[in-house]
Amino acid sequence: MASSSMAVSLSLSNSPFCPRRTPPPRRSVHLAPLSSMAASLKLSSSHCISSFGLAVLPRKLSSISSSPSGSSRTRSLTIVSAKGYKMKTHKASAKRFRVTGTGKIVRRRAGKQHLLYKKNNKRKLRLSKMVGFF
């Protein structure tokens, strides 16, 4: 029975699910008494599973724990260009866009400035309304 459990432990340690570390750990393997079945489960297969979990988990936890601390600060948003507008100066962008009291960026609909005498009143009113930008 001890030889069969030793063969199982050797075959599991060479399996692809058990990653092999470059420096082999110096640990001694003690065989448990043959009468207990729970002790036979504590072979190299469980060691490989636990070492695999320890090798993967710290990297994931460190990446998760480092991201919320950086995102807790508020960042300012700068609009460089949007939907074909060339905002060359601050005054030009101030003419095209307005920021409401709630912080929403709005712009006037296209076509308000051109050929107003050809448009009827209903269309002029529709074009003069502000449109949400983002």
Give this prediction's pTM.
0.26
> Average pLDDT of the chain?
61
* Residue 93 burial (C-beta neighbours within 10 Å; 0-12, 13-18, 19+): middle
Task: Identify which has the larger pLDDT, 134 or 1.
Answer: 134
Q: Phi and psi (nearest 5°) for 130?
A: -85, 150
Q: pLDDT at residue 120 above 70?
A: yes
Which amino acid is located at 39 in the chain? A
Q: Which amino acid is at 13?
A: S
- Give pLDDT, residue 97: 80
**How many residues are present in the chain?**
134
pLDDT at residue 4 is higher than 50: no
pLDDT digits 0-9 by tens, 54-68: 444 444 444 444 445
